[in-house]
Structure 1
Amino acid sequence: MEWLDRLNDALNYMEQNLDGEIDYNKAAQLACCSTFHFQRMFSYIAGVPLSEYIRRRRMTMAAFNLQNGDKVLDVALRYGYESPTSFNRAFQSVHGVAPSVAQRENAILKAFPRISFKITIKGEAEMDYRIVKKEAFRVVGLSSPLEKEIEQNFQAVPLLWQRAAESGLIPKLCGLMNQEPRGVLGVSACMSGEDWAYYIAVASDKPLPAELSELSEYNVPACTWAVFPGEGTMPLSIQELEKRIVTEWLPTSGYEYADAPDIEVYLEPDPANAKFEVWLPVRKKNGGAE
């Protein structure tokens, strides 16, 4: 399967550069998707964030090097740690012992073998979806910059939602809504070549009122979207749906990620019984007709 071959090419690149710099952009290019989508796809399929997987693999190799007689400082520098202290902290977080202990005979260490992607599509439950072709549209809302390693944003995004809720902004945003998709939007604007940002927003072409000067606007590019409805308790239900989309629907759909924002559409705000849609930007593989 070409899709899996691309992912494994990216894994091979990372494996070959454990003792050097691993460029997320390069890995994503090999996987034929954006850096943002590569990181999300990796974490859903592998069950671990990309940065954590790389750290575990590096510390696995570091343990082998130490047991073969290499000096702690040399191993630390080999895997990108400029000080023994930071290397010691990373090593202990994986192995539970200091690097110096790993050099001793009978030391108990952990090994995290490299992974390879071989997906078995379960298809245990049906998935409703529709394909939507949409011209570019404007969203307005509260925004926050995002880091290039997506797990670093796991605190920033919930804090932005908290700020929007506590400030009473959501009803004001809904008053501006006049375009599809209709709902409160969570827009991950992480396209290649852009500064990454997350927006709590609505689709609107209305002028921004003066009293909402803190809002930002963003133009979502024209794209084809695979739209998946869902409901349940937040945030678990939407996370489970997104994982199923990537691991079950995407590999056999004939589509791949397009370089456009991911959009979550919240139709019912009750977190205990939410209704939502996931808008996945897609394109036909190999330039096929839509």
Structure 2
Amino acid sequence: MDSLKQMNAAIDYIESHLTEEINIERVAQIAMTSSYHFKRMFSLLAGIALSDYIRRRRLTYAAFALMRGKRVIDVALEYGYHSPDAFARAFAKQHGINPSQVNGAGVSLTSFPKLTFQLIIRGGTEMKYKIEHHDAFTVVGYKKRVKLSIEGEQKEITDFISKMEANYVQLEQISDAEPRGILHINANYEENERGQGELDFYIAVASTRVDKPQFESLHISAHTWAIFSIEGDWDLIKASWENIYTEWLPTSGYVLAEAPELLISKDKVTEIWLSVIEA
């Protein structure tokens, strides 16, 4: 429950600083996690990227200010836009009209509400997990920078997986370290200027063979991991991933540490690895 309070405190901080430059590091400190994982967790829980949420809240308040008679240029500067043109484009994208049209007859505006995170009690979802410490290891394989979709299929990822499936045997031949199996790895999550999430997606194996020039490598430091085991199809894996963030993590007594997220397939069992520290 404490993690939900911390997330809501972080939202309160954002709300009170909408007319200022928001320090995401400070927001993450309030939520007691890293900025990397705060942005990642926020997008999974809220269904919207953090930067996009901030933009929409600012434009909601900007509409209120214009309705009270403030000048467009003053409102643009107040909510972080350095030119009226940039403000007008963003405003029109959310509200469907130009800022100068706000006080026209019959005008409709789009208000984006403040988010509040709550724990909803519903039919329990059983999750098999263990907490383990693992020493540092290196993964070797293929990497692609992908753009994420908030809803629906992650097409860039699924297309990359389909493209690389023929190379799995080659990867398995250089797998000589733990954890065993084909690893799908999310690393270096960021949000671009349009508020869209991006990350480095790896298809790799744990290996000491970092001398292979045709492969990318990624060093993963020693961490304590929450490891969830799933036996089922891809739909169940996706549902389990969501349940970890929305059900397990808020009540577990753990918070996310800054590390890649791992999905490991071996012996018809899929494992999700998330690096954690005690709250």
Q: TM-score, normalised by structure 1?
A: 0.80
The aligned counterpart of 2:244 is: 245
Q: How high is the TM-score relative to the length of structure 2?
A: 0.83
Change in Cα spacing, 1:134 to 1:150, as seen in structure 2 (3 Å) is farther
Question: What is the rounded CA distance, in whole Å, between the counterparts of 1:230 and 1:86 in structure 2?
Answer: 46
Q: Verify the 8 A CA contact 1:121 1:248 in the aligned structure 2.
A: no
Which one-letter code corresponds to 1:243 in the other structure? E
Partners in 2 of 1:140 and 1:50 — Cα distance? 31
* Other-structure match for 1:96: 96
3-state secondary structure, aligned to 2:276: strand
Question: 1 or 2 for the larger relative contact order (CA 8 Å, sep ≥6)?
Answer: 2
Output aligned runs, 1:93-242, within 5 Å: 93-144=93-144, 157=157, 160-161=160-161, 164-165=164-165, 168-190=166-188, 197-206=200-209, 208-209=211-212, 213-234=213-234, 236-242=235-241
- Structure 2 counterpart of 1:205, which letter? T
**What SS does the corresponding residue of 2:115 show, helix, strand or coil?**
coil
Aligned position for 1:282? 276
Deviation at 1:275, TM superposition (A): 5.1
Q: CA deviation at 1:98?
A: 2.1
- Cα displacement (A) at 1:46: 2.0
Cα 1:74–1:170, aligned 2, differ >3 Å: closer, same or farther? farther
> Shift of the alpha carbon at 1:26?
2.1
For 2:192, the equivalent position in structure 1 comes to: none
Separation in 2, partners of 1:223, 1:89 = 44
Task: Give the aligned residue type for 1:251.
Answer: P
Q: Give 2:47's aligned amino acid.
A: G
Find the counterpart in structure 2 of residue 85 from structure 1.
85
1:145 to partner: Cα distance: 5.6
State the identity %. 40
| Distance in 2 separating the partners of 1:197 and 1:25 | 21
Question: What amino acid is aligned across from residue 208 of structure 2 in structure 1?
Answer: D
The letter for the 2-side match of 1:283 is I
Paired AA for residue 218 in structure 1: L
How far 1:38 moved relative to its partner? 0.7
Contact 1:174 1:202 in 2 (8 A): yes
1:179 aligns to what SS in structure 2? coil
Deviation at 1:174, TM superposition (A): 1.5
Q: Deviation at 1:215?
A: 1.5
How far is 1:88 from its partner? Answer: 2.3
- Contact (CA 8 Å) 1:220, 1:260: kept in 2 or not? yes
String of CA shifts for 1:126-162, please: whole Å, max 9, x gaps: 1111222211112112234689x997xx776556545
Question: How far apart, in 2, do the equivalents of 1:15 and 1:50 lie?
Answer: 12
Cα distance 1:68–1:247, how it changes in 2: closer, same or farther (>3 A)?
same
Shift of 1:61: 0.4
Residue deviations 1:101-128 (CA, integer Å, cap 9, x gap): 2122542112222122222243532111
Partners of 2:140 and 2:209 within 8 A in 1: no
Partner of 1:129, secondary structure, is strand
Shift of 1:280: 1.0
Residue 195 of structure 2: aligned partner: none
1:68-83 correspondence to structure 2 within 5 Å: 68-83=68-83
RMSD of equivalent CA atoms: 2.9
Q: How far does residue 232 in structure 1 lie from its aligned partner after superposition?
A: 4.8
Structure 1 residues 29 and 171, CA gap change in structure 2 (3 angstroms): same
Name the residue aligned to 2:61.
61
Does the Cα contact within 8 Å between 1:179 and 1:204 map onto a contact in 2?
Answer: yes
Change beyond 3 A, Cα 1:222–1:87 = same
Counterpart amino acid of residue 187 in structure 1: I
Q: Which amino acid aligns with 2:265?
A: Y
Distance (whole Å) between structure 2 residues aligned to residue 110 and residue 189 of structure 1: 34
Match of 2:49 in 1: 49
Letter in 2 for 1:100: S
Name the CA distance, whole Å, in 1 between partners of 2:155 and 2:85.
26
The alpha-carbon deviation at position 216 of structure 1 amounts to 2.4
Structure 1 runs not aligned, ≥5 long: 269-273, 286-290
Q: Is the 8 A contact 2:140 2:216 kept in 1?
A: yes
